[in-house]
Amino acid sequence: MFFSRKLKAFALFLFILVPNLGNALTPPLSPDELLEDSDLVIEGQVVGEVVCLSQTVPNKCFNRMDYQTEVKVLKVLKGKAKKKKNIPVHFFHNDFAKGKCVGDQGAALYQGDIGTFYLKKSDQDYYYPFHWSSVNIQTQGSKTWPSCK
């Protein structure tokens, strides 16, 4: 009987804990982790129009939208980029509005945003924020995106 009570308690613990582990959000990376994992770290401003590249096949939790824009380099903190040059940046946004799922929405960039950008370089010659915490905005821009269809 004692064993059975422990087994029931353990089963209840797993029932409560395991489903909630899937709902945990990714924690932010530390400044040291961001710096180490980046190919390019800049202070910059989103100057390009935000353009929708595609909306991937929807799933039960979210719709993923891929965007591109240009960021003007104001100051280089790591890597090689020319000051006052615009660099192409691609990013994604996961829209969880349709489901009860939670998760990483991606690093959001809006036209006019000014901040620090921790970026990786792609094989296709553009940069991208590799973690939701790899964009630290000090001044908010427009807060609007084009629709993706």
Give per-residue pLDDT as tens, 66-97.
Answer: 999 999 999 999 999 999 999 999 999 887 77
CA-CA distance, 124 to 13, in Å (whole number)?
47
**CA trace torsion 100, 134, 146, 94 (10° rounding):** -20
Q: How far apart are CA 19 and CA 148, in angstroms?
A: 31
CA 19 to chain centroid, in Å, comes to: 23
List average pLDDT for each run of 10 residues in the chain, which is 149 residues long: 52 47 72 97 96 82 89 98 96 80 82 97 96 95 84
- Going through 19-124 in order, the beta strands assigned E by DSSP cover 40-46, 51-55, 63-78, 86-95, 114-121
